[in-house]
Amino acid sequence: MRLESEVNELYVQANTTSILLAPRLISVLRRETESAKDQTELTFLKLNLRMLEIQAEPYILKDDNNGLQEGIRRWKLDWADVDQRRRARRKKTQVG
């Protein structure tokens, strides 16, 4: 009977702990989901930029002073900055 009582007590404690941790877990999962969505959008934009860069390559090479090349360069720098901040946030908020 004593063992059964201890098992029941442990079961109640485990359930209580799970209930108390659930909001935190939900919050972490929401952040992870948002981070994944952001990364997906950034990757989509990066791939589209690369496609434009390839299509515009003949025109960029003909005219070194064109704004398209500068715009692409700035976008790549901005993307790298956003990606670096996202990775830092993700590393900072990782559970474990």
pLDDT at 9: 72
| Count of structural domains within the chain | 1
Q: How many CA atoms, within 13 angstroms, populate the side-chain half-sphere of residue 86?
A: 19
pLDDT at 82: 84
Maximal CA-CA distance, the chain: 88
Average pLDDT (79-86) is: 85
pLDDT at 61: 67
Average pLDDT (71-79) is: 85
The domain of 41 spans 2-93
pLDDT tens per residue, range 45-69 = 889 888 888 888 887 766 666 677 7
pLDDT at 34 over 80: yes
